A and B are shown apart, each in its own frame.
Chain A
Amino acid sequence: MAEVVTPGSDASKEGFQWSFDGRVVVVDNGATFASSGTFRTFMDLGSFAVVAFDPNGRLAQRKELEGIAEFQVAANSTLGSGEPATFHACLDDSLSSTLEPLPHTLQSGSGQALKVDPILARLPMPSVRLDDIEGLSNLDWLILDALNDNAAILENGSKALADTLAIEIQVPFQPSHAAQTEFGAVNAWMSVHGFRFCRFNNIKVKTRFPDDLHLEKTQASDMHGATALFIPTDARLQAMPANALLKLSFLLHTVYHLHDFAYRVLEYADAALARRYLIAEGYLWPVDENETEFTLTGAYSPDIWAQ
């Protein structure tokens, strides 16, 4: 039997079309966004302008990132307090950081069996205050990994973050490096500066089962970290310019797939637009309130036995 396609059903939906002035300006400390598999797709939308701080220079090897418009890389530097930092280059590159890896982290790293110092070198590295970045007229979306001094980054970025729309920050539940900024401290800073916690994404878990046995099934319950997303409080959203709200709604929809949040933010900008969003995304049936007559047609309600 044929699938019936009607207004509002998944098969008929074209999706909401976004329109706002300017690009979403992104600062990506640790280059997690720039090194993600979806980065190129997002950049091809022509809606983002990204500055990535890449402390361990990983992006230099990514040839596919060359030539992307509105994408700048600050290699071998990090956001921070403005004072020089120390970069710990580790045998296990995933542990390399401007924060010192904790002993238990190094023990579980891949260099354990080699009986060598898992920290290969301690190198000086410049850190840049967020408030001091030249030419950064506005900052819409800040992304912080968990391998740099996030407390210092936030404390030295109050001015730059005053009108920021979204802050994504990796927080450890089981610290892997010294002086990592925990969720409680981040949340406290956010509250003081007009942001609210939105949700955790990318929760990292480990199993407490032994790894030297072949288990028929597995489970991983131990949460080690997550990405916390913060957005401006509702009070601030209500007072925000429409263009900023459209950008934030676009970000929440396109990157995070948080359609209910995207709707709510859009509603602060334009209630009619928010309603159109619900219809376009298949959440709301497109009721035509001016419709007074109706004739059933084959296009509207086709023969279910037709192939």
Chain B
Amino acid sequence: MSKHAKTSQAPQARPDARSVAIQAAADRAEAAFENEDTDEALSILAEAEASWPDDPKIPFMIGKFTAEKKSRAEGIKKLEGVLERHPDHLSTLLELGNVHLKPGNMVKANPYVQKAIEVAPKHPSPRCAMGSLQQRLGNLPEAVEQFRTALKLQLKQTYAAPTPPKKKPDFRVKDAESLLWKTLVLMADNGIHMFAAFGTLLGLTRNGGLLPHDKDVDTGLPHSEMRRAIAILQRHGWKEPNHSFGLMNPRALVHPESGISMDVSGFVIDKDNGKALTAGAWMPGLPKDWNMIFEFDRIELEKRAAPDGSGKAWCMKDPEAWLETIYGNWRVPDKTFDTMVAAKNIRQFSLLARCYAYSRIFDHWFRNNTGKALALARHTLARDPSDVLMQKVVSRLNH
């Protein structure tokens, strides 16, 4: 939610010298933060706060950065301090909602998101935040409505010339690949049938290595082995922050030493049609057809020597067929492809699939990444061609 907290597209008055100076300090801090120099960012912000103590933007950023990189509790304290003096500060309200929602504290997140909607009823970000909150609660029909409302409000925003989205830091392909094989060998040694899947399998098969624009490592395993696999991974230093965002499948782990993330998708065999099913996204307690399910004909693995010589690992026996099932023509790179929206083998455009589609379109659009937003909107429209809202979104993004 935090990424929607900015108000860059709101009509701007002519900035005075003070505003310019505050914005300059904020920009420098943001740049340092994105450069992973949190201490430098906080130092710039502390200096700015001393100069302009009554401005909410600077302490908001201090709270946000602190919560994200230093201490969640300290960050929350700082953000709450901002609200004491500026109770209607939208970015702070949304950030407090976000910081509580991440680990799954919906009760604490809710009042901040509610207040954000009251404060800015025509702003799309609070609606998107409420969508995320309802999604996490498992109230998917309401979540879908909130995400669609966010898109409707976004359609009403005055068009601003897109600024190019900030480039993400490069994925450390070599480190990630080394960690991948080490992990697959560890798993095989412990009787876990873990294999490279999704984007990771695509990179290994098509490029001979991980995709440089990827953001994490994707693996799969029999769902029946999930609990044990997570226990072994945790014993080897992996962490599961934020409880995998409330999902039972896939599980999202981070290797703190390297900072590399890994999604672990569990596969089951469908009792009705015998196909191999995986997530997508599965939430505990939801009806089966509300979840986002990817469907494969079969999972066949063979044990092979890992390329780094560290041992033997389980690998997909026929990766080409598997990739075709999910990506279609996987041999042609498509940087706008988002598996969560565009996968060929999504079983149905379920409520959870809709949540991911609408929220990701909004997210990219709001961050001026209109190319990707458009690609996702087209895929979404293809799943439901009669969707008038999505027709409008595609039309707007096309211009």
Which residues in A have some Cβ–Cβ distance to B below 8 Å? 4-6, 8, 285-288, 291-298, 300-306
Q: Are A285 and B228 in contact (CB under 8 A)?
A: yes
Interface residues of B in 48-94 (CB under 8 A from A): none
Closest 6 CB pairs of A and B: A287-B191, A298-B269, A301-B222, A296-B299, A303-B271, A301-B224
B6: CB under 8 A from chain A?
A: no
Minimum CB–CB distance from A281 to chain B (whole Å) comes to 16
Determine whether B366 belongs to the interface, using a CB cutoff of 8 Å to chain A. no
Contact of A305 among B274, B288, B298 (CB under 8 A): B288
- List the interface of chain B (C-beta within 8 A of A): 189-191, 193, 222-225, 228, 266-272, 274, 276-277, 288, 298-303, 314, 317
How far does the alpha carbon of A282 sit from the alpha carbon of B223 in the complex, in Å?
A: 19
The answer, among A4, A294, A303, A304, for a CB contact under 8 Å with B193, is A294
Bound together, the chains give a CA A296 to CA B191 distance in angstroms of 14
Q: Decide: A301 and B300 in contact? CB cutoff 8 A.
A: no
- Closest residue on chain A to residue B220 by CB atoms: A296
Contact B300 A294 (CB under 8 A): yes
26 contacts between A and B (CB under 8 A): A4-B223, A5-B224, A8-B228, A285-B190, A285-B191, A286-B191, A287-B189, A287-B190, A291-B303, A292-B302, A293-B303, A294-B193, A294-B300, A294-B301, A295-B300, A296-B301, A298-B268, A300-B224, A301-B267, A302-B268, A302-B269, A303-B268, A303-B270, A303-B271, A303-B272, A306-B271
Residues of B within 8 A of A286 (CB): 191
Residues of chain A within 8 A (CB-CB) of B300 are 293-296
Select which of A288, A291, A303 is within 8 A of B269 by beta carbon: A303
Report how far A72 CA is from B31 CA in the complex, Å: 86
Residue of B nearest to A303 (CB): B271
Majority secondary structure, A binding face: loop
How many A-B pairs have beta carbons closer than 8 Å: the answer is: 75
Distance of B192 from chain A, by nearest CB (Å): 8
Report how far A6 CA is from B223 CA in the complex, Å: 10
B190–A301 contact, CB under 8 A?
no
- Bound together, the chains give a CA A8 to CA B191 distance in angstroms of 11
Question: Do residues A301 and B191 form an inter-chain contact, with CB atoms below 8 A?
Answer: no
Complex contact B302–A6 (CB within 8 A): no
Residue of B nearest to A5 (CB): B224
Which residues of B are found within 8 Å of A300, using beta-carbon distances?
222, 224, 269
Which residues of the partner chain B approach A4 to less than 8 Å between Cβ atoms? 223-224
Cβ distance B138 to chain A, nearest Cβ, rounded Å: 14
A6 to B224, CA, bound (A): 6
Q: B347 to chain A: closest CB distance in Å?
A: 12
Q: Which residues of A contact B266 (CB under 8 A)?
A: 301
Expressed in whole angstroms, the minimum distance between the Cβ of B322 and any Cβ of chain A is: 12
Q: Say yes or no: A304-B314 contact (C-beta < 8 A), given A4-B224, A287-B190, A293-B303.
A: no
Chain A residues, Cβ within 8 Å of B288: 305
Q: Is the CB of B190 within 8 A of A296?
A: no
Whether the Cβ atoms of A303 and B277 lie closer than 8 Å is yes
What distance in Å separates the Cβ of A24 from its nearest Cβ neighbour in chain B? 35
Could you tell me the distance between the alpha carbons of A71 and B266 in the complex, rounded to whole angstroms?
A: 55
CB neighbours (8 Å) of A287 from chain B are: 189-191
The verdict on A293 contacting B191 (CB below 8 Å), with A301-B269, A304-B223 known, is no
For B193, the chain A residues whose CB sits under 8 A away are 294, 296
A301 close to B303 (CB less than 8 A): no
- How distant is B317 from chain A, measured CB to nearest CB, in Å? 8
Chain A nearest Cβ from B393, distance in angstroms: 33
B296 to chain A, nearest CB (A): 9
Could you tell me the distance between the alpha carbons of A258 and B191 in the complex, rounded to whole angstroms?
Answer: 26
CB-CB under 8 A from A293, the residues of chain B are 300-303, 317
Knowing that A295-B299, A298-B268 touch, tell me 16 more A-B residue pairs with CB under 8 angstroms: A287-B190, A291-B303, A293-B302, A294-B300, A294-B302, A295-B300, A295-B301, A296-B267, A296-B269, A296-B301, A300-B222, A301-B224, A303-B269, A303-B271, A303-B277, A306-B271
Query: Who on chain A is nearest to B287 by CB?
Result: A305
B108 to chain A, nearest CB (A): 28
**CB <8 Å contact, A304 and B189:** no
Expressed in whole angstroms, the minimum distance between the Cβ of B284 and any Cβ of chain A is 8
The residue in chain A whose Cβ has the minimal distance to the Cβ of B191 is: A287
A301 to chain B minimum Cβ distance, whole angstroms, is 4
Question: Which chain B residue has the least Cβ–Cβ distance from A287?
Answer: B191
A298 CB → nearest B CB, Å? 4
Tell me which residues across on chain A come within 8 A of B228, comparing CB atoms: 6, 8, 285
Answer whether A288 and B191 are a contact pair too, CB < 8 Å, given A293-B302, A293-B303: yes
Contacting residues, chain A, for B189 (C-beta < 8 A):
287
Which residues of B have CB within 8 Å of A304? 223, 268
Please tell me if the beta carbons of A302 and B191 are within 8 angstroms of each other in the complex. Answer: no
Query: Complex formed: what's the CA distance from A4 to B222 in Å?
Result: 11
| Chain B residues whose CB sits within 8 angstroms of the CB of A297 once the complex forms | 269
List A contacts of B267 (CB < 8 A): 296, 301
Whole-angstrom distance between the Cβ of A18 and the nearest chain B Cβ? 25
A291-B303, A292-B302 known; A302+B271 contact, CB < 8 A:
yes
For B298, list chain A residues within 8 Å (CB): 295-296
Collect the chain A residues with CB atoms within 8 Å of residue B191's CB.
8, 285-288
Q: Closest CB of chain A to B280's CB: distance in Å? A: 13
Central interface residue in B268, B272, B302, B314, by most chain A CB within 10 Å: B268
Residues in B neighbouring A306, C-beta threshold 8 A: 271
Bound complex: CA of A293 vs CA of B302, how far in Å?
Answer: 4
A294 touches B269 (CB 8 A): no
**Among B189, B225, B314: residue with most chain A CB under 10 A:** B225
Instruction: List the B side residues contacting A298 at CB < 8 Å.
Output: 268-269, 271, 274
| Chain A residues closer than 8 Å to B222, beta-carbon distance | 6, 296, 300-301
A8: chain B residues at CB < 8 Å are: 191, 228
Q: Closest residue of chain B to A1, judged by CB? A: B284
> What CA separation (Å) do A297 and B276 show in the bound complex?
8
Q: Which residues from B are CB-within-8-Å of A296? A: 193, 222, 267, 269, 276, 298-301
Contacts of B190 in A (CB 8 A): 285, 287
Expressed in whole angstroms, the Cα–Cα distance for A296 and B316 within the complex equals: 11
Which residue of chain B has the shortest Cβ distance to A291 in the bound complex? Answer: B303
A286 to B276, CA, bound (A): 24
Report the separation of the CA atoms of residues A292 and B304 in the bound assembly, to the nearest whole angstrom. Answer: 8
Chain A, Cβ-Cβ closest to B192: A285
When distances are taken between beta carbons in the complex, the residues of chain B under 8 Å from A285 are 190-191, 228
**Nearest Cβ distance between residue A82 and chain B, in whole angstroms?**
57
Tell me the complex Cα distance, A117–B224, Å. 68
